[in-house]
Amino acid sequence: MGDARGSNAARGGASARWRRIWFRRQRGRLRQSIRGLFYALLIAAAAAATGFLVFADHVASMQPPIDPKADAIVVLTGGFQRIDQAVNLLKSGAGQRLLISGVHPSTTGAQIRRNTQSSTDLFKCCVDIGYDALDTIGNANETARWIHGNGYQTVLVVTNNYHMPRSLMELRRASPETAFVAYPVVNSDLKTGNWLTDPVVLRVMTMEYAKTAAAWLRQALGAATGTGLRTSNEPRPRLADPTDPATE
């Protein structure tokens, strides 16, 4: 009887020791996993910060070409300053025709013409207004339809400097055979100004960097995306006639 109790006690002691060893190993593995996760997050944060600084430096270095020339011009809506620049480029002969992409359906051609102080003849002959694009992907697809419908080979792209990298990425995806020439609109001097202390500019830059990184990742993975268009069956954007009283 005494031998049996001793044997059971020995087995119990050995079992307890193995449990302690097992728990120590599990704690060690958990610590290693937490440490690995911490280092992975640290590396990811460092990569994101580095990418943001590279993106910001690239955007800050953007300047419009001195003597821009292309078959046509496209401006991606987001403020009348962009449209003013694009219309002035059209007037100066930088392109034969202008597409204003992503215009809200409630905005008429006459309103745009008046805001840009342009002539009726200019808008009637040389300006197309696209109402279908909902976002940058939609801008690219709407522009691609317009390019293919007119047979353009080189297109001047007008948008804000911070928006230009993602815009060119989406445009080249939608129409890879077209040569796109960047004409960035510079709202604030990112090169010399201390924009990191400006919360508005910093927020815009951070959000645009995140969107650009997401677009790059989506294209790298070949992920499917929507058209970004209100409709997809129109062969080209419709032209708003600024002489039509119904558009007033």
**Whose CA is closest to 244, among 122, 131, 126, 110?**
110
Percent of the chain with pLDDT over 70: 81
The tens digit of pLDDT for each residue in 110-133 reads 999 999 999 999 999 999 999 999
Does the pLDDT of residue 138 top 80, yes or no? Answer: yes
Supply the DSSP string of 96-125, one letter for each residue. S-EEEES--TT--HHHHHHHTT--HHHHHH
CA distances from 177 to 62, 97, 151 (A): 23, 19, 11
Angle at 41 between CA 40 and CA 44, to 5 degrees: 85
Structure tokens at 131: 């109402």
**Whose CA is closest to 76, among 63, 68, 86, 67?**
86
Total residues belonging to the chain = 248
CA distance 213 to 211: 5
Bridge-partner residues for 100, per DSSP?
75, 129
How many Cα atoms occupy the beta-carbon half-sphere of 130 within 13 Å? 35
CA distance 84 to 183: 13
**Whose CA is closest to 62, among 168, 221, 213, 176?**
168
35-62 residues labelled b (16+ CB within 10 A) or e (exposed): eeeeeeeeeeeeeeeeebeebbeebbeb
Residue reference for tokens 């996993």: 33
**Domain locations in the chain as residue ranges:** 1-61, 72-247
Evaluate whether 167 touches 140 at the Cβ level (below 8 Å): yes
CA distance 76 to 90: 15
pTM score, whole prediction: 0.78
The tens digit of pLDDT for each residue in 28-80 reads 788 888 888 888 888 888 888 888 889 988 898 899 999 999 999 999 987 66
**CATH code for the part of the protein at 72-247:** 3.40.50
The tens digit of pLDDT for each residue in 192-221 reads 666 777 788 888 899 999 999 999 999 989
